[in-house]
Amino acid sequence: MSEASQYDATHARWRRDPEAYWADWAEAARGIDWDRAPQRIFDASMGVYGRWFPDAALNTCHNAVDRHVAAGRGQQIAIIYDSPMTGQVQRITYAELQNRVAKLAGALAARGVGKGDRVVIYMPMVPEAAIAMLATARLGAVHSVVFGGFAAAELASRIADAKPKAIISASCGLEPGRVVKYKPLIDEAIALSPHKPSSVLILQRPQAPCEMIAGRDEDLLVAEAAATPAACVSVAATDPLYILYTSGTTGQPKGILRDNGGHAVALHHSMELVYGMKPGDVYWAASDVGWVVGHSYIVYAPLLAGCTTVLFEGKPVGTPDPGTFWRVCADHGVKLLFTAPTAIRAIKKEDPEGVFLKKYDLSKLEALYLAGERCDPDTIIWSERLLQKPVIDHWWQTETGWTITGNFRGLGLFPTRAGSGGKPAPGYDVVVLDEAGQPVPRGQIGSLAVKLPLPPSALPTLYNADERFKEAYLSHFAGYYSTADAGMIDAEGYVSVMSRTDDIINVAGHRLSTGAMEEVLAAHPDVAECAVVGVRDTLKGQVPLGLVVVKSGVNKPEDTLARELIGLVREKIGPVAAFKDAKVVARLPKTRSGKILRATMRKIADAEPYTVPPTIDDPAILDEIAIVLKGAMR
Ligand code: COA
Ligand code: AMP
């Protein structure tokens, strides 16, 4: 612990009196405008495990936009859109943002969207994505953003579950070397879903304008221009702000629910405490609005804190070169960059000596924060060496919406430790438990769990699925939220997150379910049974590998079958699954009762030590599978 760090004292202060801690951060003087200030901070009797700020009311869009204009910062830049994909840079002030958001909210209201209604947003990285989110929040409606790399079927399952009144989308997204036409995907998704939205607003992009369906589809910019601006609608702090679907252990995605009040308080607090940012600072989360990092740190947190946020449409490499991230930092005076380790690994691979990095003036950049997947120490050490700035790994989940562990610039950094995600943020009591729910000694691996209640911003439940929420997160260890991550806490309190304990894999910082991929493979007529395992990959962290046993009598060449399976996963889940490899195997390793030994295969694929389970029916199969898995590692 460095002398200057206030971490220990602050975490202890939170632990002594969590309600006093959050009451302090919820004070209007700290920067949250309430329509009704909270009198009660936490009500343990409400909801599944309690609710934060149960009697308060506010509007999140007001706090992210209007509040700053009212405070005289209307001319400050709110969003810098930097798109190497289109060669565009656009700067939007808070006043302009307020105007556009109010108009789009008016357009939505005119189409029947009101408080509590859902709006699905399926957008590339353009300013209209953030404007659509804020416009929905302005009306007290609930957005559900779907990542552009998902296929029509995934979009359809989200439309079916969220039952949106409206969909906001664009005619296309831009990937290096290809234009992704969104409109056919939207049309197909709406056709597949039993629920049909009454209105679809489309941003026509010049790269691939689309045909409109009369009576349903409208041009977003035309609708926005013609609308009467809508005012902010006051909602209860406990009302939902958004649903973000994330991979569960089955093909059915889980709707992570985020409320308004707890979210605003925790995110606003995190900008100061975690990242050490002040109003007017330029903050860049190089992620996508379709992921939680994009929700929290491209849109809401920087705007709640009155910062300038960078919305980047491009890749870390190839758009046009591995210097892009550093060019964006230099051009816009970025003070803090937040991205996934994969992005840094991609840059490191193409520019190991930092030749591109050295072309740019990075004097304004103060720190690099990484999250989304386990970060290998090499990547931290490499970036620290080249940047000569603190590089901080912090541990996150869609479920929490902000960091569980990290290092806190607002408190003075304590020494970082490569391989560890830092120490628990105030708000989190993190423990390591064994299978029986007993704490394990420091330094030993077990299941990472968080003592209830979860802090503000963490999910109060799953959308329309309290029972699933309890079963998925609260049933493993009484009184604790199970993170489904395995890891350890060392003697000084540093937390290391090693791997998932379920079938979620992290591919290039994208969270995917191997169970969902297995459902797709199993539907192929030639497949008798299958398993999808995340194998170690030096760039993407993990990549999925399909292991399939074919039905007897099938003698299709392996590469033909593999091509079909790859095509099927791309069609049903989307390109983001990065499913590029399938192998035919004679058998899968199983227990004597016929259960496929997925956990053991996961360990082999992660190059972790494993023991041959005593219940295995034929140990030789495990050896055969180990050869296949090791052969697929890169
Ligand atoms: N819309 C449509 N397709 C998309 C997409 C989107 N928004 N995002 C990704 N895809 C596609 C890609 O084009 C690629 O398609 P392909 O199979 O035809 O090549 C596929 O999905 C897999 O994408 P990805 O895993 O991202 O690999 P990549 O090779 O395109 O890029 C990196 C590799 C490292 C550059 C990229 O993964 C990256 O920038 N990672 C950082 C991750 C990140 O920001 N995560 C957010 C959490 S913090
Ligand atoms: P997501 O919900 O997409 O943010 O993914 C959450 C999961 O990503 C976590 O449960 C972890 O498995 C993994 N993850 C996120 N950040 C880290 C980190 N800093 N270190 C290790 N794993 C991480």
In angstroms and rounded to an integer, the radius of gyration of the C-alpha atoms of the chain is 24
101 phi/psi in degrees, rounded to 5 = -65, -45
pLDDT on residue 250: 61
Q: Which residue CA neighbors atom 6 of ligand 2 most closely?
A: 397
148 lines ligand 1 (CB under 6 A): yes
Q: Which residues contact 418 (CB under 8 A, 6 or more apart)?
A: 375, 377, 380, 381, 393
Say if residue 320 is preceded by a cis peptide, omega within 30 of 0.
yes
Q: Which ligand is nearest to the CA of 175?
A: 1
175 lines ligand 1 (CB under 6 A): yes
Q: Is the pLDDT of residue 1 over 50?
A: no
Among 36, 39, 58, 44, smallest CA distance to 241 is for 58
Q: Which residues contact 3 (CB under 8 A, 6 or more apart)?
A: none
Cα–Cα distance measured from residue 37 to residue 26, given in angstroms and rounded to the nearest whole number: 8
246 lines ligand 2 (CB under 6 A): yes
Q: What percent of the chain has pLDDT over 70?
A: 99
Q: Is the pLDDT of residue 44 over 90?
A: yes
Q: Which residue CA neighbors atom 8 of ligand 1 most closely?
A: 149
Write out pLDDT tens, residues 562-575.
Answer: 999 999 999 989 99
Beta bridge partners of 92: 79
Q: Is the pLDDT of residue 251 over 70?
A: no
Residue 175: CB atoms within 10 Å: 15
296 lines ligand 1 (CB under 6 A): no
497 lines ligand 2 (CB under 6 A): yes
Residue 287 near residue 310 (C-beta atoms within 8 A): no
Write out pLDDT tens, residues 286-335.
Answer: 999 999 999 999 999 999 999 999 999 999 999 999 999 999 999 999 99
Report helix, strand or coil for 52: strand
> Which of ligand 1's atoms lies nearest the C-alpha of 288?
46
> Which of ligand 2's atoms lies nearest the C-alpha of 499?
12
Burial class (CB in 10 A: 0-12, 13-18, 19+), 586: exposed
Extract the tokens encoding 547: 């292991």
287 lines ligand 1 (CB under 6 A): yes
506 lines ligand 2 (CB under 6 A): yes
Cα–Cα distance measured from residue 44 to residue 52, given in angstroms and rounded to the nearest whole number: 9
pLDDT band at 285 (very low <50, low <70, confident <90, very high): very high
* HSE-up of residue 484 (Cα within 13 Å, Cβ side): 22
**Would strands 582-584 and 541-550 be described as parallel, antiparallel, or unpaired?**
parallel
Write out pLDDT tens, residues 489-505.
Answer: 999 999 999 888 888 88
For residue 613, give the DSSP letter. -
583 phi/psi in degrees, rounded to 5 = -125, 140
Write out pLDDT tens, residues 356-387.
Answer: 999 999 999 999 999 999 898 899 999 999 99
pLDDT on residue 593: 77
Q: What does the pLDDT average to over 233-262? A: 90
Write out pLDDT tens, residues 457-495.
Answer: 999 999 999 999 999 999 999 999 999 999 999 999 999
Please calculate the CA angle 303-176-317 and round it to the nearest 5 degrees. 70
> Which of ligand 1's atoms lies nearest the C-alpha of 346?
34
pLDDT on residue 342: 94
Among 282, 290, 351, smallest CA distance to 316 is for 351
Write out pLDDT tens, residues 157-169.
Answer: 999 999 999 999 9
List C-alpha distances in Å: 104 to 97, 193, 233. Answer: 10, 25, 14
Q: How far is the CA of 395 from the centre of ligand 2 (A)?
A: 6
Beta bridge partners of 199: 166
List C-alpha distances in Å: 33 to 138, 237, 257, 276, 436. Answer: 14, 12, 22, 21, 45
Q: Which residue CA neighbors atom 15 of ligand 2 most closely?
A: 372
Q: Is the pLDDT of residue 248 over 70?
A: no
Q: How far is the CA of 510 from the centre of ligand 2 (A)?
A: 9
Q: The pTM is what? A: 0.94
Residue 466: CB atoms within 10 Å: 13
Cα–Cα distance measured from residue 61 to residue 35, given in angstroms and rounded to the nearest whole number: 13
Q: Is the pLDDT of residue 265 over 80?
A: yes
Q: Which residue CA neighbors atom 18 of ligand 1 most closely?
A: 575
Q: How far is the CA of 500 from the centre of ligand 2 (A)?
A: 9
Beta bridge partners of 616: 591
Q: Which residue CA neighbors atom 19 of ligand 2 most closely?
A: 395
Q: Which residues contact 305 (CB under 8 A, 6 or more apart)?
A: 31, 268, 271, 272, 277, 278, 279, 283
- Strand stretches in 303-453, DSSP E: 308-312, 336-339, 367-370, 391-393, 405-406, 423-424, 430-433, 446-451
pLDDT on residue 624: 83
Write out pLDDT tens, residues 580-596.
Answer: 999 898 888 888 877 88
pLDDT on residue 249: 59
Among 339, 439, 461, smallest CA distance to 393 is for 339
Q: Which residues contact 583 (CB under 8 A, 6 or more apart)?
A: 545, 546, 547, 548, 558, 562, 628, 632
374 lines ligand 2 (CB under 6 A): yes
Q: Which residue CA neighbors atom 46 of ligand 1 most closely?
A: 287
Cα–Cα distance measured from residue 160 to residue 335, given in angstroms and rounded to the nearest whole number: 41
Average pLDDT of every residue of the chain = 94
pLDDT on residue 616: 80
The alpha carbon dihedral of 534, 443, 399, 102 has a sign of: negative
Please calculate the CA angle 208-213-216 and round it to the nearest 5 degrees. 120
pLDDT on residue 243: 98
Q: What does the pLDDT average to over 614-620? A: 80
pLDDT on residue 489: 97
Q: How far is the CA of 216 from the centre of ligand 1 (A)?
A: 31
pLDDT band at 3 (very low <50, low <70, confident <90, very high): low
Helices of type H across 34-145: 60-61, 67-68, 94-110, 127-138
Q: How far is the CA of 72 from the centre of ligand 1 (A)?
A: 39
Q: How far is the CA of 372 from the centre of ligand 2 (A)?
A: 4
Among 629, 463, 429, smallest CA distance to 536 is for 629
Q: What does the pLDDT average to over 81-98? A: 98
pLDDT on residue 111: 98
What are the structural domains of the chain?
3-314+394-423 (3.40.50.12780), 508-632 (3.30.300.30)
Q: What does the pLDDT average to over 385-406? A: 97
Among 604, 605, 562, 602, smallest CA distance to 582 is for 562
Q: How far is the CA of 397 from the centre of ligand 1 (A)?
A: 19
Q: Please write down the HEC assignment for all residues of 305-347.
A: CCCEEEEECCCCCCCCCCCHHHHHHHHHCCCEEEECHHHHHHH
Among 488, 456, 458, 457, smallest CA distance to 473 is for 458
Residue 221: CB atoms within 10 Å: 17
514-522 vs 558-572: helix crossing angle, rounded to 10: 120
pLDDT on residue 611: 81
Residue 383 near residue 418 (C-beta atoms within 8 A): no
Residue 121 near residue 159 (C-beta atoms within 8 A): no
pLDDT band at 632 (very low <50, low <70, confident <90, very high): confident
